[in-house]
Structure 1
């Protein structure tokens, strides 16, 4: 038996300038080992990580490891010493491996969410609203700010506007003119903006750095006891808790566009990458 995988093909080019083409491969179907499951993929999500890999913006990109990380599937075969209860179950796929548990993240009341078009940002917005938090957003598109308001955000500002942080602070209640945390995936000058917006001891949660792989840290942030907390995915326990929370709150993920036809429809898949390149769409692809 064989299966299809989607990888990137190596071509010459410098990081940030190269754009590796997609390659469809046919390989022998791997057999599950002890304690493992064989899963038929039913749907897979395209992440900015995959887009960055095609531009060599991640170190040491693999040209043999399949693209796409998150998804859903059906358990179709079991390895030795694996519980029969798994067979036929629908499962969620997460790229975290060997990470069993870790401390919980911050629980805050007033939050700023940077960017409202990526899947992570929209999921954060949905989770925060479901927790009863007051969320304001920044975006490069006024249309996307309105969409975020429709999803429960209190309001937002366009980060392309000069002095947007002053405008954002002006949206807060007079008796409560500061934020508890900022959740951001861009980086750039977020620290210099944060010291004007966060309470003393406030938290910046950084899940990505799409503007630049480096950020400045200022003495003003030190004097305000600002905490910068990096985050990537999470432990398996956190993933279980998240799935239970989504089920409890009946949260539906935001999906911008779906293409069908499997991996053979490589032209349409390439079109999803173009959506990301142009900054179009909302949520997962």
Structure 2
């Protein structure tokens, strides 16, 4: 079977489509023939050697949608999504020390077949195509936990979602809208702000504008919750925009550490500043049910044939896409 692997030799990293033996099924496992697989930012960072736990020859990919072709009889023929969590552990509040994600250090979904435990599978929501389904697991789970478990977004809340256009942020927008929140977004690109508006964002702010914080304060006032992927010095801006006792949730740090962190504003405003990573297995089940109940459709920016998977990952060197990049088998 064809697989996309990382070749890691002496601190040199490259991607290659190779032929691997089709994996065998054992008790409690299912063989899934992939129909589509989505890419995540981690796939790009692995491809350039900037991710922990990289192993030579490992098949990349955390997101997949496919048909079960072998395993327990009740699964045969079903189209399924794969939960990318590996060993979350018993504590729903935080992942275990040995927690990992499919695609490094374990073989992932960028292959024609994958074997996974049957408890990693859930039936694809019927309103989604295979490509849309593949776009959902990792980013959808991360967004669901950040939006609901951490930020506790509910009807009527004013929510700011930063860096709109990424897989997680566009799901957070759709999830918050689905429960009746009033959602605002930021981006450095007007095109992305316009696309967010079509998904239901009430307004957007270009964070390249020096006075974007004043613009947001004048238009909205204060936010009940802010969901962020960038970190960096923008955290101090968010502290100016959050309501007293509001919630700021950070699930990434693409702009690095915060310099001169405004600790006084944090404690005086009684603000909760929380980190969030992925989500537990129960949240994965809840997220997929939520998507089904609200008929949410992931934004798929571009679909590549699997034979062009190397080019697809390389395209992520920029952040031009809105939503997910998907490979079709």
**Structure 1 residues without counterparts, runs of 5 or longer:** none
TM alignment of 1:234-273, pairs within 5 A: 234-260=279-305, 262=306, 265=307, 268-273=308-313
Given the alignment of the two structures, is residue 140 of structure 1 paired with residue 188 of structure 2, yes or no? yes
Given the alignment of the two structures, is residue 157 of structure 1 paired with residue 157 of structure 2, yes or no? no
**Structure 2 residues without counterparts, runs of 5 or longer:** 94-148
Given the alignment of the two structures, is residue 8 of structure 1 paired with residue 52 of structure 2, yes or no? no
Given the alignment of the two structures, is residue 71 of structure 1 paired with residue 61 of structure 2, yes or no? no
SS at match of 1:143: helix
Given the alignment of the two structures, is residue 87 of structure 1 paired with residue 84 of structure 2, yes or no? no
Query: How many Å separate the matches in 2 of 1:222 and 1:53?
Result: 37
Match 1:231 to one of 269, 273, 276: 276
Deviations 1:203-225 (A, max 9, x none): 1211111122x345431223222
Deviations 1:196-247 (A, max 9, x none): 00012221211111122x3454312232222222222212211111111111
Q: Shift in Å at residue 171 of structure 1? A: 1.4
Query: How many Å separate the matches in 2 of 1:117 and 1:21?
Result: 27
CA-atom RMSD in angstroms: 1.8
Report if the CA contact (8 A) 1:191-1:221 is conserved.
no
Match 2:86 to one of 91, 97, 103: 97
Deviations 1:61-85 (A, max 9, x none): 223321111120111111xxx4x11
Q: Shift in Å at residue 39 of structure 1? A: 0.7
Report if the CA contact (8 A) 2:186-2:204 is conserved.
yes
Report if the CA contact (8 A) 1:101-1:238 is conserved.
no
SS at match of 1:209: coil
Query: How many Å separate the matches in 2 of 1:257 and 1:222?
Result: 43
Name the counterpart of 1:32: 25
Deviations 1:84-139 (A, max 9, x none): 11111111012112337736333231111011111111111111111111111000
SS at match of 2:289: helix
Given the alignment of the two structures, is residue 129 of structure 1 paired with residue 129 of structure 2, yes or no? no
Report if the CA contact (8 A) 1:116-1:138 is conserved.
yes
Looking at CA atoms only, which structure, 1 or 2, has the larger radius of gyration? 1
Given the alignment of the two structures, is residue 186 of structure 1 paired with residue 230 of structure 2, yes or no? yes
Q: Shift in Å at residue 11 of structure 1? A: 5.0
- Report the count of equivalent residues: 264
SS at match of 2:35: strand
- The TM-score, its normalising length taken from structure 2, stands at 0.75
Structure ranking higher in strand proportion: 2
